[in-house]
């Protein structure tokens, strides 16, 4: 497709203009989208928490499996962000269209395959967590229902990546915001039953989530396919060609593998938590992890924005702008990291009780948040630096760092749990986050020096 046929008024060029304001405009909707996705889970936990900590444990364990699926979906999302962002920077909109079609096709294929897998054989995945029989049965039902929404999840993330690569992070924000409102309305209706709708418990939360995902996907499809749509109404499903597919996998797979492995490690930690702390241990880690998503979502939003900003300027040979953007982001995220750390350490129990008002649960959750609060600043340093690595196409480096130190969590958790019980698992998570937050910016510092020397 010729670049002349592609509408450009929807695209933002970040290779010129004020750096901080552009970065902020790009990051705020992305951060809001991350908060929306986090709020989906928190709203579910808040309502399901009224059913009891056992239901939270059932839903929380399946949430980890869905986390792994969201991580796999980053294969198309991140490659769309980077390849399309670099295409815009190089003024090759025809190339951006090719990448958009390829990432969308890949998202459809992966989403359908894993949806069928979880619907057909959910039991092996649920049994991994060593839950007591009644909780495992509830988790199995929940998994089968949310699996129907997996193709929608893969496509929503992919379309978000396409818009982000084009500098239009505001569009995913609007659409996901609508989905959140739908989910907030439907959750209590399907969980507790209102009027003619029966009470379905945790299964109702799964139904509400799937329906809200359908709404978001329909909004994306309508916006993309309307007259003069984005990138000239690019086709959603095509025959994959070797060269663009190879580049997509090269860009997206390291990030997806890093996040999938992170999810897998967290699943193993939940299993250890179940062994040493029972369902309260699982509840603390899964629900506490969602609350901890406040800082993760914020830093991930800015990291994604930084990656898109850097991708355009890297392709346009304007790395001076990229270095300044990195410094601005580090300062902002570092300040926020300190604030959230103090909140978790001083008010952890109160925060946890907002979602699960069961005393034993919020006391255990308060211990989790206190220990996690120690590492929040370091987590933000790691994720911010990851945005720089991704923007210059070095996605394998943060993957190496993440995989290495997340792997360390398992032996650390088993060692500390044997000495301190369930809180030893939390200390293993926190210490590894601190190490990642030190190694990642240090590695980038030396890479930055090499890039600058080569450009002279």
Q: Residue 267's pLDDT is what?
A: 83
5 in a structural domain: no
Structural domain for 196, as ranges: 18-451
pLDDT, one tens digit per residue, over 417-433 is 888 888 898 999 999 99
At residue 111, the pLDDT reads 95
**Residue-level pLDDT at 212:** 94
Residue 7 lies in a domain: no
Q: Is residue 1 part of a domain?
A: no
Task: Report the number of distinct structural domains present in the chain.
Answer: 1
pLDDT in tens, 149-160: 999 999 999 999
What are the tens digits of pLDDT across the range 164-194? 888 787 888 889 889 988 988 998 899 988 8
- Measured at the CA of 200, the angle between CA 198 and CA 202, to 5 degrees, comes to 155
For the residues 341-357, what does the mean pLDDT come to?
Answer: 86
Residue 227: the pLDDT is: 63
Per-residue pLDDT at 411? 93
- In whole angstroms, what separates CA 318 from the centre of its chain? 29
Using CA atoms, how far apart are residues 110 and 345, in angstroms rounded to an integer? 40
Please report whether residue 303 resides in a domain: yes
Return the pLDDT at 142.
Answer: 93
Task: Specify whether the CB–CB gap between 192 and 52 falls below 8 A.
Answer: no
Residue 396 pLDDT: 84
Name the percent of the chain lying above pLDDT 90: 25
pLDDT at 304: 79
Between the alpha carbon of residue 327 and those of residues 20, 57, 379, the distances in Å are 10, 40, 16
Confidence of residue 455 (pLDDT cuts 50, 70, 90): low
CA angle 117, 118, 123 (to 5 degrees): 115
pLDDT recorded at residue 50: 77
DSSP state of 199: P
* Residue 8 domain-assigned (yes or no): no
**What pLDDT is recorded for position 168?**
81
> Phi/psi class of residue 82: alpha, beta or left (left: φ > 0; alpha: ψ in -120 to 50)?
alpha
CA distance 129 to 89: 46
pLDDT, tens digit, 9 for 90 and up, residues 45-103: 778 877 877 888 888 888 888 888 988 999 999 888 888 877 877 777 777 888 888 99
Asked if residue 353 is part of any domain, the answer here is yes
Among candidates 38, 1, 16, which has minimal Cα distance to 296? 38
pLDDT of residue 12: 67
Please say whether the beta carbons of 118 and 150 come within 8 A: yes
- How many C-beta neighbours within 10 Å does residue 2 have? 9
Residue 9 counted as domain residue: no
**Between 127 and 453, the higher pLDDT residue:** 127
Global pTM?
0.70
Q: What's the chain's length in residues?
A: 456
- In this predicted structure, what is the pLDDT of residue 153? 94
| Among 259, 344, 265, CA closest to 300 | 259
- For tokens 């901890």, what's the residue? 292
Structure tokens at 117: 């897998």
Lowest mean pLDDT among 39-48, 273-282, 305-314, 398-407: 39-48
Residue 430 is predicted with a pLDDT of 93
Gyration radius (Cα) of the chain, Å = 21
Residue with the two structure tokens 């998994």? 143
Instruction: Show the tokens assigned to 168.
Output: 């239009």
Mean predicted lDDT score pLDDT of the chain? 84
- Our CA dihedral for 40, 42, 44, 49, rounded to 10 degrees, sits at 180
The yes-or-no verdict on residue 225 having pLDDT over 90 is: no
Residue 29 lies in a domain: yes
């Amino acid at each position: 497709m010729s670049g002349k046929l592609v509408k450009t008024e929807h695209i933002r060029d970040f290779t010129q203009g004020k750096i901080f304001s552009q970065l902020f405009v790009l990051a705020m909707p992305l951060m809001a989208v991350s908060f929306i996705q986090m709020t989906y889970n928190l709203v579910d936990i808040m309502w399901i928490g009224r059913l009891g900590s056992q239901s939270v444990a059932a839903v929380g364990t399946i949430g980890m499996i869905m986390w792994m699926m969201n991580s796999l979906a980053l294969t198309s999302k991140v490659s769309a962000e980077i390849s399309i962002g670099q295409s815009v920077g190089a003024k090759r909109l025809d190339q951006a269209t090719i990448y958009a079609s390829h990432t969308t096709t890949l998202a459809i294929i992966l989403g359908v395959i894993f949806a069928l897998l979880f619907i057909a054989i959910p039991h092996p995945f649920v049994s991994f967590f060593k839950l007591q029989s009644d909780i495992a049965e509830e988790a199995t039902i929940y998994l089968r229902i949310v699996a129907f929404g997996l193709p929608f999840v893969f496509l929503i993330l992919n379309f978000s990546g396409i818009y982000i690569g084009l500098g239009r992070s505001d569009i995913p924000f609007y659409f996901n915001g609508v989905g959140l409102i739908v989910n907030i309305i439907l959750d209590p209706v399907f969980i507790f039953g209102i009027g003619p709708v029966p009470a379905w418990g945790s299964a109702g939360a799964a139904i509400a989530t799937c329906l809200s995902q359908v709404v978001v996907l329909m909004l994306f499809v309508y916006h993309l396919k309307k007259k003069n749509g984005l990138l000239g109404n690019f086709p959603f499903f095509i025959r994959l060609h070797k060269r663009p597919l190879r580049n997509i996998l090269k860009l997206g797979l390291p990030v997806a593998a890093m996040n999938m492995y992170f999810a897998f490690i967290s699943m193993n930690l939940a299993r250890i938590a179940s062994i040493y702390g029972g369902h309260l241990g699982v509840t603390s880690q899964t629900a506490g992890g969602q609350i901890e998503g406040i800082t993760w979502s914020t830093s991930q939003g800015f990291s994604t924005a930084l990656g898109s900003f850097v991708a355009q300027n890297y392709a346009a040979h304007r790395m001076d702008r990229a270095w300044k953007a990195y410094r601005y982001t580090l300062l902002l995220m570092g300040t926020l990291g300190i604030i959230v750390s103090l909140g978790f350490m001083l008010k952890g129990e109160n925060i946890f009780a907002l979602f699960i008002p069961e005393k034993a649960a919020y006391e255990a959750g308060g211990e989790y948040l206190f220990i996690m609060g120690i590492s929040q600043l370091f987590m933000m340093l790691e994720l911010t630096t990851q945005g720089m690595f991704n923007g210059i196409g070095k996605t394998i480096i943060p993957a190496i760092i993440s995989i290495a130190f997340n792997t360390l969590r398992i032996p650390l958790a088993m060692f500390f749990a044997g000495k301190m019980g369930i809180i030893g698992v939390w200390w293993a998570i926190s210490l590894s986050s601190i190490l990642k937050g030190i190694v990642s910016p240090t590695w980038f510092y030396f890479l930055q020096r090499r890039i600058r020397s080569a450009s002279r």
